[in-house]
Every structure is written in structure tokens, then in C-alpha cells.
Amino acid sequence: MNKIVVGLSGGVDSSAAAAILHHQGYEVVGLTLWLMKGKGQCCSEGMVDAAKICEDLGVPHHIVDSREVFQASIVDYLVEGYSAGVTPLPCSQCNKTVKFGPMLKYAREELGIEKIATGHYARIAYDAATGRYQLLRAIDPAKDQSYFLYDLTQDLLAGTEFPLGEITKTETRRIAAEFGLTTADKPESQDLCLVESNGSMRAFLDKYIAPQKGDIVDKSGRVLGQHDGVHHYTIGQRKGLGIAAPEPLYVIELDAAGNRVIVGDRQLAVESECTVDKVNWVSVAAPTAPIRAQVQIRYRSHPVPATVTPLETAGEENAYRTRVKLIFDEPQLSITPGQAAVWYDGDVLLGGGIIERNQLPN
């Protein structure tokens, strides 16, 4: 019998994934990572729901205390980024560093099982011509989570199954109900567990970063208002600035060292290009020449056409692997340092990385 370890957060998606695989004849072992104390999935109540699902399915359930690695890799990473005036994207880093990597290692080394599965909405295919695993968008475009998975390695893709990639969220809930899962009607979780646990990103950050009043200024340095902490703002933000102006103003730069939030009109908030660091080439090998692709600069943004140009990095063994320049066919609003830029060829995720901070526009 095929054995597989299923990551269980306590939500309907991971529960349905486990039930589907169990129904297909897999010998399922449930695995829950204890990431932090508090409410929400991946926390105390999520572990209880995950244990109940395993009990209902009649499968073993393991809990791994991952609080230390979550604190170092995600919480500290977020606090450091927001303190420096960037807006980190924790989910992609969490998937690789906290979840998929440790889960597959635990499955192989502690349980002798070679495969893991999760309730993510994405698909994996193998391209025999290139010898690479490909990461594809889910069938359900409204739930596709491939954007958050761009940093997975070939080894992780080879050892992972996504049972929900070929079905819609509506079908997932129907399947969960058919199997009598207690999570079938469980409300949707937040995209970010720290927000779910703390009530808001602002509340989470205020636990770690002391509010510090400063100036909101325009590009010339003219004071337009006051803020209570640079970490409360993000590039491209328009609402909540508390400034009366004849035209909409956007955050165009965060000067953490000077404790200033710099704002400007829409023309100053759009850019035609950006550089991306810490690139992971997923479904294709790293190119050495420019390629055309559709690029997403936020999870909920529509992909837009752009040219992806590898940047040579002196002193690196593979000099074209880690950085690229993105040149968009049309200028884009709110290109946010710290967020992920991910590029596709149709449904195939080619690669992605972290948007670097650009200099303030002249």
C-alpha cells in the first residue's frame, strides 16, 4: 500500500486532501506543525481539529513542535523587514523553510515515507524532456496558490502531492461533507496565519515594534501630516494616510532610517521596471537571455506581460541564477519591495523571487 504524510492544519482543505487520499487507498499519516500559540489554523485549535480528522479517518496523527523555527524564520523575518521599511511576504518563505522542507524530512527520516501532501490549490507535473518537475496553477483560478509556492525546490516538488489542484473549492467542501468531515463547514482562514491569530497585521507588529511618531512628506520634503510608525505603511498604500489633498496620494517610499513616510501622486507611484533577488527557477532551468512571461507582483493581482532579464552576478558559480530585471509592457502601480514577483508561461510557473527596493523616483 502506498504511504503518504498529509500536512493537516485543521482546515477544510487539508482535511479533504487527507480524506481523498485515504479513499484512494493510500496509507495516510497526518502531520501537524505547531507553529505558534493562539487561535486559528496552525495553532492550538487547528491541532485539535486536525486530531479529530485523523480520529475520524482512523489514521495516525503526529504533531511536530515547530515554534522555534517559525519564530526565527517567519516572525523575526517579518519584524526585521517591516523595521527596515519593506513589506515582507512570509507565506512563500514559510512554505519552503517551515512547512514543506521539514515535513518531507520528517516523513523520510522519522517515518520512512517518501511522499507528503497538502491542501494547497496547485498542480505538479513532470516534464520528461527537461527532467524537471513543473509547478502549475490550480484548475480553480479563484483559489490558485501557486504564487506562494514559487520557492519550492525540485526535490520538494518531486516529493509532494496536491490532491486539490484539479478541483474547485466548492467541490472540496462537497467532498468534505460527503466524507462527514467536521471541518466541512469551517469558515475560510485568513491568507496569513499571524493576522488570524493577532487580529490584524498592525496588532502583530505593534507587539514587536514600538510606535514612533514621524512625518509624512512629499517628494520635496514638505510635511503633509504625521504617522505613528513607518511599519504601519506599505508602498502603494492610498487609504488611511489621514491627509487632505486635492488628488489621491500614494506611499512611494518608506524611509525607515529617517522615520519618514514619503507620498506622491499616481504618476510617482507607478514604475515600468524593478529588480528581483533570491530568484528560484522552478519549472525551467535558469536562462541566460531575456524571456517573455506573464508576471504577478501580488497574490491577488492579474498577471501582466513583461520581459524577464537575468542579471549577471559577479563571483557566483551560476552567474545568472539569483537576480533578474523585470521590464513591464505597461507601468505598474504599487511595486512593493519585499513582496514576491512570480512569472508564468500560461499555467506553468517559471520562477519567482523577492522584489528589491528601488531608489526614490527623480
42, 43, 54, 94: the catalytic one is 94
43, 54, 193, 274: the catalytic one is 193
- Contact present, 15 and 8 (Cβ < 8 Å): yes
Helix H or strand E encompassing 18: helix 12-23
Cell numbers 479517518 correspond to what residue?
57
**Is 43 designated active site?**
no
Q: How many residues does the chain have?
A: 362
- Contact present, 282 and 134 (Cβ < 8 Å): yes
Measure the CA dihedral 108/282/133/141, to 10°.
100
> What does DSSP assign to residue 149?
G
Residues 6+ apart with CB under 8 A from 164: 13, 16, 17, 20, 119, 120, 121, 138, 172
Starting at the edge strand found earlier in the chain, the sheet holding 116-117 runs 61-65, 27-34, 3-7, 116-117, 160-161
How far, in Å, CA of 161 to CA of 116, rounded? 6
Q: What are the E-state strand segments in the chain?
A: 3-7, 27-34, 61-65, 116-117, 122-127, 132-137, 160-161, 214-217, 223-227, 250-255, 260-264, 270-281, 291-296, 304-310, 324-333, 340-345, 348-355
SS3 257: coil
How far, in Å, CA of 128 to CA of 302, rounded? 30
Instruction: Count helices and strands (H / E) in the chain.
Output: 11, 17
Catalytic positions are 94, 193
